[in-house]
Amino acid sequence: MFVEDFKTDFYEFLAGKRVFLMVHYDIDSICACKILQSLLKYRNILYTVAVIQRLEDLKRAYVENCEDVQYFILLNCGGTIDIVEELEPEEEKVFFILDSHRPIDVCNIYSTDQVRLLTRPEEDALVPEFNDIFRDQSESENESDSDSDNEGRASKRRRLGEEAILKRRENRLWEENRNKLLFEYSQFTYYARASAIFMFEYAWKLNKEDKDLLWLAIIALTEQLIFGKIEHTQYILEMEALRAHCTRLQHKSNDTDVLTSLKILFEKDLRLTLYRHWTVEHSLKYSMFTAIRMKLWTLKGDKKIHELLADMGLPLAQSRQHFKSMDLQLRKEFHSSLEKLSEKYGLQDIEFTSFILQYGYQHKYCASDIVFALIAILEASPRDKKPEELFNLALDCLSRNKKEIIDNAIEKAKIVAKSLFKTVQNALDMKQIINAGPFVYYIVQEGCLDWYMFSHQHILLLLSQFVLKAYVSMSRNKKASTLPLIISVPKNIENGTCILIGIPPVCETSPRNFFGKAFEQAAEKMNCEANCDYFDTSYIEIYSKDRTRFFDALAALLN
């Protein structure tokens, strides 16, 4: 069921109770968690936070804590699975779910009391009607009983009455209709509005919002844009709403001291990775946007960068300097001169609108900088760090007074950007992106330099988008833009498993992903052991030895 009134049914309801927060391991959840924490603190609601990566973690965390806690809040996890079936909770346990994964499981939607969804249903979600998918259990059970009785007792001679036949037929039709509706509903997996934005709006309704919380919502939105989880139009709509909040809060506050004032500025940003904290040359070279538009992995592309720099009037020596140390004049003109030349070099839409956070003189970061820094912390850290540790570090990174953590993370993010580029370049040079008919695939080999980094969800997503776009831009095949991509990366070398991700083709404008169902069916068809306990079902974990057969099954399915 959907929670109608956040204030009475959630916030006031939980006052004085102890809750258990289960937070998914991604940026949006971390932001939402931070907003929720500040809300809970206002009412002195005791909480415990646990990090959830997969379904398995969710179950374990539940089992460990179910004796002591009654109320569970799930952030970005659990919405897409049938909670009651998976966790088998006792009657009095209550789950509040705020999940941006779609589609929401129908059982959660129609649960009467135990599962309460904090999101609002989307208008275009086409949730099947209750009567179309659920029926009185006793009725159908009776029938199935009598059915089996009929068959069991060799009652072929007994003639069925016309009524019974009609009823059976009706049943069959109903079931067919049910399956069809459910399939249509769950065919595509996609992301809805970021949970952090929901949380921020709730905070706003409770009159407890401030600029820090707004910034968290902005980061969550930017993350969705960078990882292509939402369409650009949706981004613009959400951004305008946040911009209104931004101006309102700016006027409301009265901190005029430059040293300690917190400002969120609405500004145009470039689709260049971390350029404010890097050299211009590197940023141009390793950003996905420019790399694809100018085909920077080729020799020609390399020359093109120098051409562009010459056209901009940016001396090479300057472009190899840290952006902050460039001549003031050049730095000021950088934005406009790049914009002017964007048409000539095919870099249209290099600009997008975003926000900048400024705190005092030193602390000035773009929303996208923070997103890259966070992803570097969460997914590109050394192997011996546990996810909980990294989660805590990411939470620290979002607080204002930990500048050195952010700066370290940004350095790490540069390495991520470089290795993404190099992997793509390598894949194209060695022609490792293979066309399998209805889709293309690319296998990251075990010996590959950065395989461990790519075995994480979000960096893998970035890699897959990069690979597919690069492939399409290089391919002579006219149909290339209509082909989806699957990437396989080793996950656990000892067990010999690998993780697969599928992304929709370039020509699709909406990021709706059909691979969830396709993977499930292919795995079912070939009876292989597959581990699909990711909350985003476009990832699946299988044994590497089954991979070839799995691809064959998929090809057969998608043809």
Partner 1 sequence: MFAEKACSLIKELSRCEEGLPPYNIELVKEVCTEIKQLHEQNKEDGAIVANESEIAGNVNPLYPTLRIGSAAVKRNIRCLLAYHYNRLRTLRTMRWQFGSILPPDIKTNLSSDEIDWFSKYSSCLGKYMRSIGEDGLNLCLDLRPPKSLYIEVKCLIDYGKFELSDGTVLLLKKDSRHYLPRSECEELITQGVFHHIV
Closest residue by Cα to residue 334 from 318, 355, 346, 347: 318
- State the amino acid at position 72 in one-letter form: F
Residue of the chain from 37, 250, 425, 481 that contacts partner 1 (CB under 8 A): 37
Q: Is the peptide bond before 121 cis (omega within 30 degrees of 0)?
A: no
Question: What's the closest the beta carbon of residue 7 comes to partner 1, in angstroms?
Answer: 20
50: contact with partner 1 by CB under 8 A: yes
CA atoms within 13 A on the CB side of 383: 8
Question: What's the closest the beta carbon of residue 58 comes to partner 1, in angstroms?
Answer: 15
Question: What's the closest the beta carbon of residue 402 comes to partner 1, in angstroms?
Answer: 11
Give the other-Cβ count within 10 Å of 452's Cβ: 16
548: contact with partner 1 by CB under 8 A: no
Query: Do residues 79 and 117 touch, judged by C-beta distance below 8 A?
Result: yes
3-state secondary structure of 451: helix
Residue of the chain from 39, 45, 292, 553 that contacts partner 1 (CB under 8 A): 45
- Of the pair 64, 141, the CB lying nearest partner 1 is at 64
Question: What's the closest the beta carbon of residue 458 comes to partner 1, in angstroms?
Answer: 21
Residue of the chain from 6, 11, 25, 47 that contacts partner 1 (CB under 8 A): 47
Question: What's the closest the beta carbon of residue 411 comes to partner 1, in angstroms?
Answer: 24
Question: What's the closest the beta carbon of residue 90 comes to partner 1, in angstroms?
Answer: 16
3-state secondary structure 282-349: HHHHHCHHHHHHHCCCCHHHHHHHHHHHHHHCCCHHHHCCEHHHCCHHHHHHHHHHHHHHCCCCCCCC
Q: How far apart are CA 124 and CA 510, in angstroms?
A: 13
65: contact with partner 1 by CB under 8 A: yes
Find residue 51's DSSP bridge partners.
23
Query: How many residues are present in the chain?
Result: 559
**Which parts of 14-33 interact with partner 1 (CB under 8 A)?**
18
Residue of the chain from 41, 120, 232, 303 that contacts partner 1 (CB under 8 A): 41
Residue of the chain from 35, 40, 467, 470 that contacts partner 1 (CB under 8 A): 40
- Of the pair 62, 185, the CB lying nearest partner 1 is at 62
Q: How far apart are CA 129 and CA 185, in angstroms?
A: 11
Structure tokens at 266: 């609405």
CA atoms within 13 A on the CB side of 227: 22
Question: What's the closest the beta carbon of residue 186 comes to partner 1, in angstroms?
Answer: 33
- Of the pair 53, 464, the CB lying nearest partner 1 is at 53
Per-residue contact flags (x/-) with partner 1 for residues 386 to 415, judged by CB under 8 A = x-xx-xx--x--------------------
- Contact stretch for partner 1 (CB under 8 A) within 358-366, 382-390, 432-440, 478-486: 382-390
210: contact with partner 1 by CB under 8 A: no
64: contact with partner 1 by CB under 8 A: yes
- Of the pair 386, 545, the CB lying nearest partner 1 is at 386
Closest residue by Cα to residue 21 from 56, 55, 65: 65
Question: What's the closest the beta carbon of residue 64 comes to partner 1, in angstroms?
Answer: 6
**Cα separation values, 196 from 193, 218, 456, Å:** 9, 8, 22
Closest residue by Cα to residue 543 from 508, 496, 479: 496
Chain contacts with partner 1 (rule: CB under 8 A)? 18, 37, 40-41, 44-50, 64-65, 67-68, 386, 388-389, 391-392, 395
